[in-house]
Amino acid sequence: MMAAQSLRSSEPGIVRRAREESLARSHRPLYKNLDGVRAIAALMVLVSHSQWGPPAFGGSGVWLFFVLSGFLLFPTLPQQADALFPRRLAGFLVKRITRLIPLYYVALLIYSAKWHLPPRWLLQHLLFLDAQTFFWTVKIEVIFYLVLPVIGLVSCLIRSTLPKFLVLVAITLAYHFLVQIPALITVRAAVTYVPLWLSPFMMGICASVIAPYLSKPVGYVCLIAGLVALAVLNFDLPSFIHIRNLVLGVQHGPSGPFVFVGVTALMATLFVTGAAVIPPNVVFCNRIIRTAGVCGYSFYLWQILVMQLLTGAVDIPSKALLFLLVAVLTYFVSIVSFALIELPAMNYGHAVARRLLEGRTAAPVREPA
């Protein structure tokens, strides 16, 4: 009993230290507010999954996740196209693989057993040949990891910040209008096929280049503008629907985040940029919220499982209560998942990346007996 209490009391500290130590190793800014933004994104997806609140929250939460990935990962790419570039790039990919894949594979095994799915389903998802249910977002994230080094190599050839920013914006616009909107490349997403939505990642990349040069007042403007715009795009209030349809030129039919990906992702980018530029905020950096954000990947993967187990065990009288219970339970499950699966894998990935840069073969780090 005492050991369990000690684990519960120490886990949030472990989570925060892991985030700060990881960012210290990567020599990039510690955007503490963005952990809170990731927690908000995870809660928005949970709102959609629990069918409580605006259904559009799920799409906007996903775009927030994607924008955050582009914003935070681009600065970790090798910044010089020198003789060590291949090793640095290999180290980057190793860190991304060990960050994403181990927990994803564990989740696949558990969900396939829970849903009594055939081995073929499991094999297809292990190899990223299919992407049913909410696992489609992980597949798009992996595709982004494969594309990101190419974008990084292009950026290495441009030294100045403004030209680099303009070139990245041009690439983003070209992909969005010439590839994504015509759906020239599609991927499986749950029960249908969707365009390969990479523009939210690329918007996050553009924002990461320019954010260090923005002032705090500009940051607050971006934050408020993004927040208000996301509210208008997500809440189905009569006045909001009228404004949304008027601005987007919609006469009839849906106008949610999955229909207008570019607009919603752009507003999410403003929100993320503002949160990164302003000083640490009491809301974003609240201990509970920030811990949930650090464990946001676990929170995203386990919320469906927790919801199904909970609804199978007890009768929940309202969707609001279901959302609250699932959020609380998933929060603690995510902390344990981070400490037992994500953190060891991340530490191993960083160790392998260091040894790759040193030119030595990495071996697993053994704990003393």
The answer to whether residue 116 is domain-embedded is yes
The answer to whether residue 369 is domain-embedded is no
Domain limits for position 334: 27-232+266-355
Task: Centre a 10 Å sphere on the Cβ of residue 270 and count the other Cβ atoms it contains.
Answer: 23
Measured in Å, how far apart are the chain's first and last C-alpha atoms? 24
Q: With bands split at pLDDT 50, 70 and 90, how would you rate the model's confidence at 2?
A: very low
Q: For residue 295, what pLDDT is reported?
A: 94
Closest-CA residue to 74 (of 139, 156, 136, 196): 156
Alpha helix (H) residue ranges in 176-234? 199-210, 216-234
The answer to whether residue 312 is domain-embedded is yes
More confident position, 240 or 305: 305
Average pLDDT taken over every residue of the chain: 85
Closest-CA residue to 96 (of 48, 136, 143): 143
More confident position, 13 or 168: 168
State mean pLDDT over 122-129: 92
| Bridge partners for 188 per DSSP | 193
Question: Which two tokens mark 134?
Answer: 């909410």
Question: Residues 78, 65: contact at Cβ < 8 Å?
Answer: no
% of residues, the chain, pLDDT over 90: 57
The CA-based dihedral angle spanning residues 180, 149, 298, 348, taken in that order and rounded to the nearest 10 degrees = 170
The answer to whether residue 332 is domain-embedded is yes
- In angstroms, rounded to a whole number, what is the distance separating the alpha carbons of residues 320 and 309? 17
Question: Residues 338, 315: contact at Cβ < 8 Å?
Answer: no
- In angstroms, rounded to a whole number, what is the distance separating the alpha carbons of residues 47 and 64? 14
The answer to whether residue 248 is domain-embedded is no
DSSP track, 81-108: -STTHHHHHHHHHHHHHHHHHHHHHHHH
φ, ψ of residue 193 in degrees (nearest 5): -115, 140
Q: With bands split at pLDDT 50, 70 and 90, how would you rate the model's confidence at 88?
A: confident
Q: For residue 44, what pLDDT is reported?
A: 94
Q: For residue 131, what pLDDT is reported?
A: 86
The answer to whether residue 7 is domain-embedded is no
Question: Residues 131, 187: contact at Cβ < 8 Å?
Answer: yes
Would the pTM of this model clear 0.95, i.e. be above it? no
The answer to whether residue 327 is domain-embedded is yes
Q: With bands split at pLDDT 50, 70 and 90, how would you rate the model's confidence at 14?
A: low
pLDDT in tens, 151-176: 888 888 888 999 999 999 999 999 99
Number of domains within the chain:
1
Q: For residue 296, what pLDDT is reported?
A: 94
Q: For residue 78, what pLDDT is reported?
A: 83
The answer to whether residue 244 is domain-embedded is no
State the amino acid at position 257 in one-letter form. Answer: P
